[in-house]
Structure 1
Amino acid sequence: MFKEIPQLPGVYRQLLDAIDIGIHVINHEGKSIIYNKKMSEIEDMNKEEVLNKTIMDIFLFNSEEESRLLQALSNGSVHRNAKQTYFNFKGQEITTINDTFPLVHNDMRIGAVEIAKDITKLERLTRETSREKHDAKFTFEQIIGESSAIKEVVYNAQRATRTSSSVLISGETGTGKELFAQSIHNGSHRSAKPFISQNCAALPDSLIEGILFGSVKGAFTGATDHPGLFEQADGGTLMLDEINSLNASLQAKLLRAIQEKSIRRIGDTKNRTIDVRIIATVNEDPLLSLEKNRLREDLYYRLSVVSLTVPPLRKRKEDISLLADHFVQKYNHRFQLHVPGLTDEVSHFFKQYDWPGNVRELEHMIEGAMNLIDYDEPIHTIHLPVHVRKKFPLPANDMTIGDSNSLKQKGVESAVKPLHTYIEEVEKMYLANVLSIYNGNISQAAEKLGIKRQSLQYRRRKYNL
C-alpha cells in the first residue's frame, strides 16, 4: 500500500534550494513533487518541466527498470554512492553519483528520493582526454611572415628542435603560440610521438589535477583508473597553455613532475616514470606574471630554458598583406568563392588598425567579410564589422552604409540586403571577433560587451558560434 506524502512547508523548500546537492523526490504515483535548484542545474531542466510529471515523461528510459527512482518506489531497492548515466527528455547526457532509496512511513512506501552529485563534466573530460591525442599539424613552413620580428622567433624556435629542453612561449592571445609549439614538436625527434595540448584556464582547479596526472579507482567519488595527460604524452610533447592560470599548489606539483621526470596519479602510492617535453605558454609578459604572483619563480626558471616571445600583429604590420592573402585563399577554397583580395582602402585600413586580437582577429575578420560577399568581388570596408569601421573615417570613394550612389558606382546594388538580415550578420561577426579576442571566455567577453553571460550564451547558440 501507498500513502500520500504531506506537503512540504515553504521554508524547507527554500533550504533544499540553498544546498549544493541535487535532490529529486517522487510520490507514490511516480510523479515528481520535489526538485531542487541544484538538481535543476545538473539535469538542465527547470522545475516547471519536471514537477507533477512522471519519470518516464522526463527521462529517456527504455523501461521503468532503468530508473532507480522507480525501482526504489516499486520494490524498495537501495543504491548508495552509485554512478549513473542517463538522458533527459532533451537528449542531453547526464552522469551523476547517486544515493537512491524509498521513503517509508508506517511500514509503507510513500515515495522515493534521489540525492545526486554531478560528475557529468568530469566524465566527459575523462573520455575526451583518453580518446584525443591532438596530433600536431603545423610546421615552420606554415608560419607566414617576412618581418624581422617573426623571422627571429622562427629561427630561435627551429634551434629549439634539436633538444628536449622545456620551452616557454609568451605572447598575447591570438599571436599563434600553439602554431610555434606544434612546429617545434614536428621538427624534433619526438615528431612520431603524441603532441597533446591543454588550456589550463579552461578547467577548474578541482579537475585539472586529475586531467594532468590521472587517477586511480576510488581516489574520489566517481574516480576510475585513468592515465593523465603526462602519461598519454609519454615520449612526445605536452603543451600547457596559459600555465599562469594554475594555482600555486598545482604549479609546485608540475615543477616536481618536470624535475623528477615522474608523476603520481591521484590516490596512488607509486610513482610512474615519464618522458615528456613540456612547452608552456603565457598570454602576458612572464615578468608581469612573476610580479603579480601568477607564476612561481622556480617554475618559471625551470620552464624558460628556451624562451620565445611571439610578437603581436601591430609590431609586424609588414606581414599583414601576406597573412590577409593567405586567409582569403583559405576561405576561397572553403567557401567555393573567387574573392580576388582586398580593396586598396581595406589594405590601408588594416595597416592602420591596432589588431587587439592579433592574427586570430585578422583571420576571423576576413572569414566574416567573406560570409557577406554574394559574388566574386574584393573585400570592401562595408564587409567589415561595424565596431571596426567606426575606428577610422572611411575614404570618400569606398562603400559606406547609407551611400547609395557609392553602391551604384561600384556596381554592387545586389549587396543591399534586408535590414534585419544585415544587422544579424553584423552582430554574428562582431560576437565572433570579440569571442576570439577573449579566446572563447564567455565571462570576459560578456563583461566587455556589457551584457549578461546568459544573453551571450543565447546568441552563441543562435548564431552557432
Structure 2
Amino acid sequence: MLETGAILKSLIDNLELGIHIVNKEGKTVYYNEAMEQIEGLKKSEVIGKRIDEYLQGVNEDSSTIMRCLKSGKKIKDVIQRYSSLYGKKIITINTTVPVVYKHKVIASIEIAKNMTQIKELNEKLCKLQSSEKGEKTNYHFNDIIGKSKSIREAVSKAMRASLSNSSVLIYGETGCGKEVFAQSIHYNGIRSNKPFVPINCAAIPSSLLEGMLFGTTKGSFTGSENKKGLFEIANRGTILLDEINSMDSYLQSKLLRVLQEGYIRPIGSNKTIDIDVRIIATLNENPKKLIKEGKLRKDFYYRLSVIKINVPPLRKRKEDIELLSQHFIKYYNKILGKNVKSIQDKVMNKFLQYDWPGNVRELRNVIEYAMNMSDGEKILSREYFDSKAIGQDEKSFASEYDLNEVSLNEYLMSIEKKVIERELKKQNYNITKASKRLKISRQSLQYKIKKYRL
C-alpha cells in the first residue's frame, strides 16, 4: 500500500498538468510542481491556506474548486482567468472533481491545463498579422563570417539558392547559424521585398502549430477566431520552418500536400486559399537518422530538400575561430562601449583546442561574457573566461588553475559554478529540486544560473 502511494505521488508530482487539492474546509492540502509553474507560487505559500488568501480576485463563487467542493458535482473544461498573489496573469482550462467518501464530499481535486503560453503565442501571431512583413533581423551573406573552404562552399550554394524559388533544407548542428543562412537566402533573393516569416516548430505544441500555420475559423475549436495563418501572411514571400523534425507526422503529411498542391485550408473551413510561399526548413539532426527513427517522413524530406545546404560545425572550421572572435569583439565594443582589441594568445590557443559543442552561438556567448567582465583592458586575458570555454574539464581544473593566475575569489566562483552545473544535470534542470539539494533558495539558484550563464 505504501509503495502504491509513493508511485501515485511520483506520478502526480511529475505531470505537466497542474494538480490542486483542497480539503473539506477549503484549505489546500496538495499542490504539485506544475501548479507552482502555472501560478508562480511556492507550495509553502499555499499549503494550509484558502484560495482567497493567495489568489487575486478569486472567491468561493468564482472558484471552480470551491464550487465543486460545495456542490459535489464534476466541473469540466472551464476557462479560468485570474491573478496570483504577485499579480501574475493566468489563464487555465480546468476540470474539477469531488472526492466522495461515505456519501460525503471530503475534498476537491482540480486539474489545470496552462493556457497562458498559448495566449502569448496567439498574441505574437496577431502582431505578425498586423505587420505586412513582421519583425525582421535582415541578415545578409556578408554577416556569415569565415574563410574556411567548408563555410565558403556553403555560402556559395546558398547564394545560388537565393536566385531560385525551390524549397531549401538547411542542415546543421544547434548554434551553427542556420537562420542567418535562411535570412540571407531570402533577403538577397527574388522575394526580398516580400514577407519573411520564421517559426520555431520545436517551441509550439502540434495542436497549436497547425492553427498558426493554416489559420482558423471562428468556432473551429475552443476560443478560436477568424485568423490568418502564417502561410497566408507569408504569401509571395518565404516561411522558415525551424527544427522541422519536431513537427509530428500528421502535420508533415499535411504540409507535404500544401507544397504539392499550392493551397491551404484553414482549420474549420471548407474553403481553400491559394498560396505562393517558398519554404526554407532547418534540421539540427542527421536526416537519415531521423527518417530511420520515424521522426521525419521520407517523402516530406525529399520534397523539402530540392536544394540542400550543410552548415559545418565550428570544430570542423577552426581556422575561422580567430576571425569570428574579432568580429564579436568589434560588435560588443559598440554595444558595451568598450575598447577591447584582441584575445590573449594563451586563451586563443585554448579556443583552437576546444570542440565548441554549442558552435558559433557558444563562441559568441563566451566572448560576450568576457567583454562584460573586463574593465578597461584592451586584451581579454584568461581571468575573464569561463573555464569550460578555454578547454578545461573538472579533473584538470584544480591543477591548471593555480592562484598565480587567478584570485581566490575567482577560483571559488569557478568551483561553485561546477557544483551548480553538476546538480542541475542530476535533477534534469529542475530548479526547485536542485535548490533543495544545494540547500539554497530557488531565487538564489536562479540568480546564480543567470550569473554563470548555465
Normalising to structure 2: TM-score of the pair?
0.77
Cα pair 1:17 1:36 within 8 Å, conserved: no
Partner of 1:89: 85
SS in structure 1 of the partner of residue 80 of structure 2:
strand
Aligned to 1:288: 289
Structure 1 counterpart of 2:262, one-letter code: K
Q: Output the CA distance in 2 between the equivalents of 1:282 and 1:15.
A: 35
Paired residues of 2:354 and 2:390 also in contact (CA < 8 A) = no
1:289 Cα offset (Å): 2.8
CA contact (8 A) 1:126 1:226 kept: no
Deviates more, 1:336-345 or 1:218-227: 218-227
Secondary structure of 1:345's counterpart equals: helix
CA distance, structure 1, for counterparts of residue 135 and residue 23 of structure 2:
44
In the alignment, structure 1 residue 401 sits paired with structure 2 residue 401: yes
Q: Which has the larger radius of gyration?
A: 1
Given that 1:56 and 1:64 are in contact with CA atoms closer than 8 Å, whether structure 2 keeps it comes out as: yes
Over residues 324-365 of structure 1, what are the superposed CA-to-partner deviations in whole Å (9 max), with x where a residue is unaligned? 100111122222222220122222332232222221121112
Distance across 2 between alignment mates of 1:289 and 1:424: 38
Equivalent AA in structure 1 for residue 80 of structure 2: Q
Distance in 1 separating the partners of 2:110 and 2:355: 55
The structure-2 alpha-carbon separation of the partners of 1:59 and 1:255, relative to structure 1 and needing over 3 Å to count, comes to same
Alpha-carbon deviation of 1:450?
3.8
What TM-score results when the alignment is normalised by the length of structure 1? 0.75
1:50 pairs with 46, 50, 62, which one? 46
- Report 1:220-231 matches (<5 A): 220-231=221-232
Aligned mate of 1:416, from 401, 407, 412:
407
Deviation at 1:99, TM superposition (A): 6.6
Cα deviation for residue 402 of structure 1 reads 2.1
Tell me which residue corresponds to 1:122. 118
Q: CA deviation at 1:267?
A: 2.9
Query: Within 1, Cα distance between the matches of 2:108 and 2:246?
Result: 43
Please state how far the C-alpha of 1:181 moved relative to its aligned partner. 0.3
Hey, what's the Cα distance between the residues in 2 that align with 1:318 and 1:205?
Answer: 40
Matched, 1:454 2:430: yes
- CA distance 1:421–1:191, shift in 2 (3 Å): farther
**What CA distance in whole angstroms lies between the structure 1 residues aligned with 2:238 and 2:203?**
20
Asked if the contact 1:215–1:265 (Cα under 8 Å) also holds between the matched residues in 2, the reply is: yes
1:239 deviation in Å? 0.7
Amino acid corresponding to residue 194 of structure 1 in structure 2:
P
Q: Are the counterparts in 2 of residues 169 and 307 from structure 1 also a CA contact under 8 Å?
A: yes
SS of alignment partner, residue 131 of structure 1 = helix
TM-fit CA distance, 1:135: 1.6
CA RMSD in angstroms, aligned pairs only: 4.1
What is the percent sequence identity of the aligned residues?
40
AA at the equivalent of 1:57: E
For residue 314 of structure 1, give the secondary structure of its aligned residue in structure 2.
Answer: helix
Q: CA deviation at 1:303?
A: 0.8
Secondary structure at the counterpart of residue 342 of structure 2: coil
Task: Please list the CA deviations of residues 82-134 of structure 1 after superposition, one character each: whole Å capped at 9, or x if unmatched.
Answer: 4332211132221123578999xxxxx99999765432222222112322534
Alpha-carbon contact 1:200-1:243 (below 8 Å) kept:
yes
Q: For residues 44 and 214 of structure 1, what CA distance do their matches in structure 2 show?
A: 31
User: Counterpart of 1:453 in structure 2: which amino acid?
Assistant: Y
Cα distance change on mapping 1:420 and 1:92 into 2, 3 Å: farther
Residues 1:233 and 2:234 aligned together: yes
TM alignment of 1:201-350, pairs within 5 A? 201-350=202-351
Cα–Cα, structure 1 residues 461 and 269, in superposed 2: closer, same or farther, change >3 Å?
farther
Counting matched residue pairs gives 418
Inter-CA distance 345–41: structure 2 relative to 1 (3 Å threshold): closer
Kept in 2, the 8 Å contact 1:190–1:236? The answer is yes
Q: 2: CA distance between counterparts of 1:421 and 1:50? A: 37
- In the alignment, structure 2 segments of 5+ residues that lack a partner are 100-104, 129-133, 394-398, 436-441
* Alpha-carbon offset, residue 168 of structure 1: 0.5
Corresponding residue SS for 2:357: coil
**In 1, distance between residues paired with 2:423 and 2:126?**
32
Distance 2:67 2:204 in 1: 36
Aligned residue for 1:227, secondary structure, equals coil
Q: Secondary structure of the equivalent of 1:182?
A: helix
Change (3 A) 1:276 1:376: same
Q: Show the counterpart of 2:127.
A: 131
Give me the whole-angstrom Cα distance separating, in 2, the residues matched to 1:96 and 1:361.
36
Structure 2 residue 195 is matched with structure 1 residue 194: yes
Structure 1 counterpart SS, 2:280? strand
